Structure 1
Amino acid sequence: MPAARDPEATKARIFAAATAEFAAHGIAGARVDRIAREARANKQLLYAYFGNKAELFSQVLESCLTRLAAEVPVDAEDIDGWVERLMDYHAAHPELIRLIYWEGLEYGTERFPHEEERKRHYDRKVAVFAEAQEKGLISSRIPPADLLFIMISMVSWSTVQPQMRRVLTGDTDEDRARLRASVQEAARRIVG
Structure 2
Amino acid sequence: MSRHPEVKWAQRVDKVFLTVLLPDAKDAKVKLEPDGTFSFSASAGAENHQYELKLDLFDKVNVEESKINVGVRSIFCIVEKAEPEWWPKLLRGDGKTPHYVKVDWDKWVDEDDDTAGSGPGDMDLGGMDFSKFGGMGGDDMGGMGDFDDSDEDPDLSKAEDEAAEEQDDVKAGVDTSEEKKEATTSA
TM-score range, shorter chain: under 0.3
In our comparison, the structure showing a higher alpha carbon Rg is 2
TM-score using structure 1 length: 0.23
Higher share of residues assigned helix: 1
Q: Which structure dedicates a bigger proportion of its chain to strand?
A: 2
